[in-house]
Each structure stands twice: as C-alpha cells, then as structure tokens.
C-alpha cells in the first residue's frame, strides 16, 4: 500500500472523461477518432497515477447507463474499442502494477466483452501499485438501489455502513473528482462516494488532458482545506 505523503492526501481520484466528441469535431474528424485519442489519454493518466506516491485508486467514468442513447454505430464502436483496448493494455497493466476492476451492469455487453473484462480482472488481481476502476454501463442511483436491496435480502439493517458494504465500488470515499470539457455536473456518478469530495472542473477536453495538467490540479487539491462538515 502506498503511504500518505501530505496531510491533505489524494488516495482515491475519480474522473469524468468528457469531450471526446467535441475534440474530434474541432479537429474536423469523426467522433470515433475522439474516442481513440481519449483511450490513449487513459493510458497516460493511469501510468501517472500508478507512479504517484499516494494515489491508490483511479475510478474512470467510461460508459454510463445513459450512453446507450447515442447512435447505434457509435455505441458499437465503443464496445469494440473497449475490447481491443483491454486486450492491448494487459501488458501495460502488468508492467505498471495496475489492478483492473470494472463496476456497472455488464449484462448488456456481448459475451466476448464480458469475458475480456473478467479475464483482465483475474489476470491483474495481484497487482498492487494502483487499482484502476472503469465504470461501464454504470449509474450511481442504480448502484445505491442495488446495495439497499442486497442488504435487505441478507437481513441487514439499513445503515450507512451496510449500504457502503454492498456498493459495487469499494467503500472508499473519493478524495477528488475531476470533470473535463467545462461541463459543471456530476452526471449520476458515484453519488454516495462523492459526499465530501473536492470537485475540480477543467475546460480541457479529455483528449487534451495531460499528466502535467493533472499534476497542477493535485497541487490545487493539496492546498485546499477540507473540513468534512466541521469548522
């Protein structure tokens, strides 16, 4: 486990990766080219976080439950891109000591993609430098409802602790949420875990986001005063 280096330590970072389509439009390219470029940035940011002295978990919003509303061809491309990306990324996961996990409802994915996700989780489960969580077909309200129902089915009293235990994500509060592309909303993402998170919104489109910008945002985070409801 990485050791905290500062009093205001960043251990769990969450990012809403937004702006692939607008980046492609600005470049005069098809939207799918924005998604391909965005996947490259995922690799760069994950590598940075794996080598950061305090970050233990990186949770990325990759595909929401609402994203099925996009054009069918774009959705199909995204599914193919995810499968290809996980296949090609396995070597980098192992090299950088990254444990891969996925949260969300995988049942709508093809059997091939479901197997790819499961196999990648299994192959990287012993890696310990960083846990990268991809939120796939994920919606936070559905996650919370599911946690409550599972707790009730097991005969547990509904408390903050019992709900937290049954969430898909580990019961680890998010220290910092970043959203790219200038949008100022959290889009049904990790609502429970974000209760006392610091928020940072950048105008950078996700394909333009860089480890250097992330480093500056982390410095901003470390300089904030977190009260957690106190004074």
Give the C-alpha separation, 39 to 16, whole Å.
Answer: 13
Give the C-alpha separation, 97 to 200, whole Å.
Answer: 27
Q: Which helix (H) or strand (E) segment is 102 a member of?
A: strand 98-103
Give the C-alpha separation, 158 to 149, whole Å.
Answer: 10
Among 8, 18, 20, 88, the one annotated catalytic = 18
Q: In what order do the strands lie in the sheet with 176-179?
A: 98-103, 130-138, 57-64, 12-16, 176-179, 198-201
- Give CA separation, 18 vs 64, 108, 181, in Å: 12, 22, 6
Strand 130-138 and strand 176-179: the pairing is unpaired
* 67 catalytic residue (yes or no): yes
* 20 catalytic residue (yes or no): no
Among 8, 20, 26, 67, the one annotated catalytic = 67
Burial class (CB in 10 A: 0-12, 13-18, 19+), 7: exposed
The residues annotated with a catalytic role in the active site are: 18, 67
């Amino acid at each position: 486990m990485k050791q905290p280096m500062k009093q205001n330590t960043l251990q769990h970072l969450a990012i809403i990766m937004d702006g692939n389509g607008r980046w492609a439009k600005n470049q005069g390219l098809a939207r799918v080219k924005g998604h391909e470029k965005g996947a490259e940035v995922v690799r760069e940011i994950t590598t940075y976080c794996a080598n950061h002295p305090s970050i233990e978990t990186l949770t990325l919003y990759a595909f929401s439950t609402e994203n099925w509303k996009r054009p069918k061809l774009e959705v199909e491309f995204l599914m193919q891109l995810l499968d290809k990306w996980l296949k090609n990324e396995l070597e980098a996961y192992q090299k950088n000591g990254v444990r891969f996990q996925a949260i969300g409802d995988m049942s709508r994915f093809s059997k091939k993609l479901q197997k790819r996700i499961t196999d990648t989780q299994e192959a990287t489960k012993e890696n310990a430098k960083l846990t990268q969580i991809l939120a796939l077909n994920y919606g936070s309200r559905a996650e919370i409802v599911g946690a409550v129902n599972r707790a009730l089915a097991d005969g547990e009293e509904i408390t903050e602790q019992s709900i937290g235990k049954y969430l898909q994500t580990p019961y680890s509060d998010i220290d910092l949420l970043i959203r790219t592309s200038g949008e100022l909303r959290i889009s049904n993402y990790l609502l429970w875990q974000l209760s006392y998170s610091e928020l940072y919104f950048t105008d950078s489109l996700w394909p333009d986001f860089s480890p250097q910008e992330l480093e500056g945002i982390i410095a901003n985070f470390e300089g904030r005063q977190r009260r957690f409801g106190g004074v």
